[in-house]
Structure 1
Amino acid sequence: MNKIDTLRAAIVTATPELAIHPARLRMWVDRGEVEARQTASGSFGFSFRLNVLIMELATDVSVISAAIIQWLRVNQPDRLAPGNKAFTFDVDILDNDTVDLLIEIQITQQISRQPAPGGGFTLTYLPEPDPLFGDDLGLGGVAPAPNLVAVSADGESILPHGG
């Protein structure tokens, strides 16, 4: 489940104290499900809740949140869609300087299964599609619809006026 490894790296990069004390960052999965498909290839997916526990954290929780949101943009963009919660969290305030932080993120991971030459198979973790489009492209990365130049109703030109 490579999303777990990449999220760990993003959090450690944003939080230098975890590079010094890596045992303070713990991650585990619960509520996992395998989404199998009735396809010839046998490709499948995982869906699970990823729990991220950071103990004795002195870094501002907002720094961790910003790092996770940036990670979600690439690795789990559906979590950033309007109406979705990016993730949930609980904080145990230990003292004026440190907290224990528990973050819960719903993750999906699609896996392609392809036959290998000579038998067996190869598994590939599939990347998420980029949810952002260039300014010059329309929905789905295709050429945008042309600009509206005229509107008419019942044979009468409404826009442009007098046209």
Structure 2
Amino acid sequence: MKKPQLLRDHLARACPDLATNPEKLTVFIERGNILHTGTPALSFEYRYTVNIVITDWADSTDVLIVPLVAWLKQHQPDLFDNPERRTKGFRFESEIIDHKTADIGIEIDLSESVAVMGETVDGVNRLTTRHIGEPLLATPGQVETAVDLAAEWRIVPIDGA
């Protein structure tokens, strides 16, 4: 599975506090399953819930959510396109620690398609796998721009807020 590490790397780039303090960011998988259609091919799909736990977070949750939405639009667009997945596939909870910090848990339902192909190398039959990327909703330049903007986004307090 590749998406959990990609997601972790993206959050660390987007949130300098997580890059400076990587111990505050934990990413793990639970409730995973494998989907195979029963055809002769060996290709399959991972389906799982990735859990992201951020501890001692002292900033707005918006600083976490905006980069996550940008990442998901590129790497898991069906999460927003499908009405049922849109309402149930991206969840969070927060434990308020004190007047400055909170622990935040985020759960996201992800999937990854894996193509399994046979090939012969030097007379030996081998199986290779290739993770199939998600379709892009925009041109590559537009997606990169959206991700870059999210990664650079910061909250600016408004006087009196």
Q: TM-score, normalised by structure 1?
A: 0.76
* Correspondent of 1:115 among 104, 113, 118: 118
Q: CA deviation at 1:41?
A: 3.2
For residue 19 of structure 1, what is the aligned residue in structure 2?
Answer: 19
- Structure showing greater relative contact order (alpha-carbon pairs closer than 8 Å, 6 or more residues apart): 2
Stretches of 4+ aligned residues off by more than 6 angstroms: none
Letter in 1 for 2:22: P
Q: What amino acid does structure 1 have at the position aligned with 2:116?
A: R
Find the partner of 1:94 among 93, 97, 108.
Answer: 97
3-state SS of 2:125 partner: coil
State the Cα deviation string for residues 98-154 of structure 1 (Å, max 9, x = none). Answer: 110000000011001111322121111110012348xxxxxxxxxxxxxxxxxxxxx
Q: Does 1:129 align with 2:143?
A: no
TM-aligned CA distance change 1:25 to 1:98, over 3 Å = same
Letter paired with 2:113:
Q
* Contact 1:112 1:124 survives alignment (8 Å): yes
1:20 shift after superposition: 1.4
RMSD of aligned Cα (Å) = 1.5
Aligned-residue sequence identity (percent) comes to 27
Identify the range of structure 1 (103-112 vs 24-33) with the bigger mean alpha-carbon deviation. Answer: 24-33
Task: Tell me by how many angstroms 1:9 deviates.
Answer: 1.1
- Determine the C-alpha separation between the residues in 2 that align with 1:55 and 1:116: 46
What is the number of equivalent residue pairs in this alignment?
Answer: 133
- Counterpart of 1:17, as a letter, is D
Q: Which structure shows the bigger proportion of residues in helix conformation?
A: 2
SS of 2:42 mapped into structure 1: coil
Q: Please, which runs of 5 or more residues in structure 1 have no aligned partner?
A: 134-163
Matches within 5 A, 1:1-163: 1-81=1-81, 83=83, 84-85=86-87, 87-117=90-120, 118-132=124-138
| TM-score, structure 2 normalization | 0.77
Structure 2 residue aligned with 1:145: none
Gaps of at least 5 residues in structure 2 are 140-161
Q: Which amino acid aligns with 2:118?
A: P
How far apart, CA to CA, are the structure 1 residues paired with 2:100 and 2:79? 30
